Amino acid sequence: MKSIQYKDAKRVEVGEKAAPEIGPGEVLVKVAYAGICGSDMIIYQGVHPRAKPPLVMGHEFSGVIEKGHATLPPGTPVTAYPLLGCGHCQPCLNGYAHVCDTLKLIGIDCDGGMAEYVKVPEDKIIPIPAGFPLKLGAFIEPVAVGVHAVSRSRYRPGDTAVVYGAGPIGLCVAGCLAYFGARRVIVIEAKPRRLDVARQMGFTTIDAAHEDIRAKVLEYTQGRNVDLAFDCAAHPSVHTSILDILRVQGVGVVVGSYKKPAEVDLIKIEFKELTLIGTRVYEWRDFETAVAILQSGRVDFDRLLTVAAPEEAPKQFAKLLAGESDAIKMLFKFG
Ligand SMILES: [Zn+2]
Ligand SMILES: [Zn+2]
Residue 335 banded pLDDT, cuts 50, 70, 90: confident
Spatial CA neighbour of 105 closest among 67, 162, 50, 144: 50
Residue 109 CA, ligand 2 centroid: distance in Å: 15
Please state which CATH number belongs to domain 2-138+300-333. 3.90.180.10
CA 98 – ligand 2 centroid, Å = 8
4-55 pLDDT, tens per residue?
999 999 999 999 999 999 999 999 999 999 999 999 999 999 999 999 999 9
Nearest CA to 228 out of 204, 247, 255 is that of: 247
Start and end residues for every CATH 3.90.180.10 domain found in the chain:
2-138+300-333
pLDDT of residue 11: 98
The pLDDT assigned to 215 comes to 98
Distance CA 130, CA 128 (A): 7
What angle separates helix 168-179 from helix 140-152, to the nearest 10 degrees? 60
Question: Ligand 1 centroid vs 223 CA: distance in angstroms?
Answer: 36
Q: What is the pTM of this model?
A: 0.97
Determine what percent of the chain is predicted with pLDDT higher than 90. Answer: 98
Confirm if 89 and 138 have CB atoms less than 8 A apart.
no
pLDDT, tens digit (0-9, with 9 covering 90-100), for 203-254: 999 999 999 999 999 999 999 999 999 999 999 889 889 999 999 999 999 9
Distance 55 CA to ligand 2 centre (A): 23
pLDDT (average), residues 83-88: 98
pLDDT in the model for residue 239: 85
Query: Cα-flanking dihedrals φ and ψ of residue 190, to 5°?
Result: -100, -25
pLDDT per position as a tens digit, 247-296: 999 999 999 999 899 989 999 999 999 999 999 999 999 999 999 999 99
Q: How far is the CA of 50 from the centre of ligand 1 (A)?
A: 15
Question: By 3-state DSSP, what share of the chain in percent is helix, strand and coil, each rounded to 5?
Answer: 30, 30, 40
- What's 146-278's CATH class? alpha beta
User: CATH 3.40.50.720 region(s) of the chain?
Assistant: 146-278
Q: What is the pLDDT of residue 147?
A: 98
- Which residues keep their CB under 5 angstroms from ion ligand 2? 85-86, 89, 92, 100
